[in-house]
């Protein structure tokens, strides 16, 4: 039987967190390690996580897909006497969400409805467990159960049997120490990803914990850089650079490379990717402000000092042709003043 148990330079946003989370935890082997870390032992004993597989979720509407990471898995029960299978929905949240249990119920209903459409002879439904990886700084303070959102149940508990009820499991990363995360039954990539999600909102916090994670980061590079997963290493470096805020790439890169020398090459590749994407983004928008930001991004990434006056002059330019010329010059300029001298 089966059991289902806008990257913008200098502007970190949910896109970076979503991209990293999906890249890592939509893979069954990494999702299984996360579930081994957070499922209650009695439930973990029931589910054979070695059979975990990602379920296609074409049934999810675009509106719902925007609110969920969309990682639904299924796996076999260990006990063959248990009928059916269990689904596991893995979601991440950057802050407590009051209505998450209600949205999870909507997801469940769509999944069950689609299952019945495909298998009309069914006479039962598989259970679904929702696991939320929360990486906000203040801990999860919202209700974890659907009944926690419903008025009157505390005063009139006799209503409870007649009201839908389920709980979400919350993996609250802010309450996890470096040691506890590093000891999880996970490979280097998902371990590093959880650290980055926990600390990535503040580049100072992330760099302050770099010492604790340098060995794991080194293992990630050593194990992946020479294989087909080299892109995973670059994705991790991109994330670190993307959450750097106003800091130059070179400053963040220097801190990371000093702690973990083997990151130098993937760091350089990640920086080059972000620079080129910034250029293409400015070109696609066709707007002066987008091209001006690309000019400044290239100069900053290349460690070219830009004064306040020069920055203001670049941002004030509305001539797309001029900005395109500056963009080309910025790729090789030794000083920001070189833009205006040509």
Q: Using one digit for the tens of pLDDT, what is the confidence trace for 246-262?
A: 777 788 889 999 999 99
What is the pLDDT, as a whole number, of residue 65?
A: 58
Of 175, 200, 227, the position where a domain reaches its end is 175
Residues 149 and 266 in one domain: no
What is the pLDDT, as a whole number, of residue 1?
A: 38
- Token representation of residue 170: 């919350």
234-241: average pLDDT:
91
Residue 224 within any structural domain of the chain: no
Residues 142 and 253 in one domain: no
Strongest mean pLDDT among 18-22, 115-119, 178-182, 220-224: 178-182
What is the pLDDT, as a whole number, of residue 87?
A: 92
Q: Which residue has the higher pLDDT, 60 or 227?
A: 60
Residues 19 and 161 in one domain: yes
Residues 30 and 153 in one domain: yes
Of 160, 175, 190, the position where a domain reaches its end is 175
What is the pLDDT, as a whole number, of residue 3?
A: 39
Residues 156 and 298 in one domain: no
Residues 253 and 165 in one domain: no
Residue 160 within any structural domain of the chain: yes
Residues 50 and 164 in one domain: yes
Of 175, 209, 226, the position where a domain reaches its end is 175
E strand or H helix that includes residue 91: strand 86-93
Residues 161 and 247 in one domain: no
Q: Is the pLDDT at 107 greater than 80, yes or no?
A: yes
User: DSSP characters for 56-83?
Assistant: P-TTS-HHHHHHS--EEEEEEESSTTS-
Q: Is the pLDDT at 245 greater than 90, yes or no?
A: no
- Token representation of residue 171: 């993996």
Q: How far apart are CA 132 and CA 196, in angstroms?
A: 16
Q: Which residue has the higher pLDDT, 63 or 194?
A: 194
CB 126 within 8 A of CB 87: yes
Q: How many Cα atoms are found within 13 Å in the side-chain-facing hemisphere of 24?
A: 31
Residues 154 and 265 in one domain: no
Q: How many Cα atoms are found within 13 Å in the side-chain-facing hemisphere of 192?
A: 26
- Token representation of residue 289: 């402000």
| CA 32 vs CA 5, 24, 35, 192: distances in Å | 10, 11, 5, 16
252-281: average pLDDT:
85
What is the pLDDT, as a whole number, of residue 175?
A: 94
pTM for the full predicted model: 0.76
Length of the chain: 342
What is the pLDDT, as a whole number, of residue 281?
A: 61
Q: Domain tally for the chain?
A: 2
Which residues constitute the domain of residue 28? 14-175
Cα 227 to the chain's mean position, in Å? 23
Residues 24 and 148 in one domain: yes
Q: What is the pLDDT of residues 148-201, one digit of tens each?
A: 999 999 899 999 999 999 999 999 999 999 999 999 999 999 999 999 999 998
Residue 333 within any structural domain of the chain: yes
Residues 171 and 244 in one domain: no
Residue 278 within any structural domain of the chain: yes
Residue 316 within any structural domain of the chain: yes
What is the pLDDT, as a whole number, of residue 4?
A: 39
Residue 218 within any structural domain of the chain: no
What is the pLDDT, as a whole number, of residue 7?
A: 30
């Amino acid at each position: 039987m089966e059991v289902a148990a806008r990257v913008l330079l200098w502007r970190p946003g949910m896109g970076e967190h979503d991209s990293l989370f999906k890249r890592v935890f939509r893979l069954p082997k990494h999702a299984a390690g996360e579930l081994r870390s957070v499922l209650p032992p009695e439930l973990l004993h029931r589910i054979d996580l070695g059979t975990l597989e990602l379920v296609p979720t074409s049934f999810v509407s675009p509106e719902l897909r925007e609110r969920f990471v969309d990682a639904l898995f299924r796996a076999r029960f260990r006990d063959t006497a248990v009928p059916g299978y269990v689904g596991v929905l893995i979601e991440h949240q950057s802050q407590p969400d009051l209505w998450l249990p209600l949205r999870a119920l909507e997801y469940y209903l769509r999944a069950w409805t689609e299952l019945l459409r495909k298998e009309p002879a069914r006479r039962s439904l598989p259970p679904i467990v929702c696991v939320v990886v929360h990486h906000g700084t203040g801990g999860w303070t919202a209700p974890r159960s659907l009944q926690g959102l419903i008025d009157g149940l505390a005063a009139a508990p006799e209503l409870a049997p007649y009201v839908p009820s389920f709980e979400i499991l919350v993996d609250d990363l802010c309450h996890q120490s470096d040691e506890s995360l590093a000891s999880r039954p996970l490979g280097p990539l998902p371990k590093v990803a959880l650290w980055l999600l926990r600390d990535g909102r503040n580049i100072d916090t992330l760099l302050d914990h770099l010492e604790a994670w340098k060995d794991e980061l080194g293992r990630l590079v050593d194990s992946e850089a020479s294989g087909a997963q080299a892109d995973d290493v670059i994705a991790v470096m991109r994330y670190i650079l993307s959450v750097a805020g106003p800091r130059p790439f070179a400053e963040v890169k220097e801190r990371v490379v000093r702690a973990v020398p083997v990151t130098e090459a993937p760091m350089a590749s990640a920086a080059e990717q972000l620079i080129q994407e910034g250029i293409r983004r400015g070109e696609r928008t066709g707007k002066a402000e987008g091209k001006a930001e690309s000019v400044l991004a290239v100069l900053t990434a290349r460690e070219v000092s830009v004064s306040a006056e020069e920055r203001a002059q670049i941002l004030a330019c509305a001539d797309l042709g001029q900005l395109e010329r500056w963009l080309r010059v910025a790729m090789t300029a030794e000083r920001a003043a070189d833009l205006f001298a040509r």
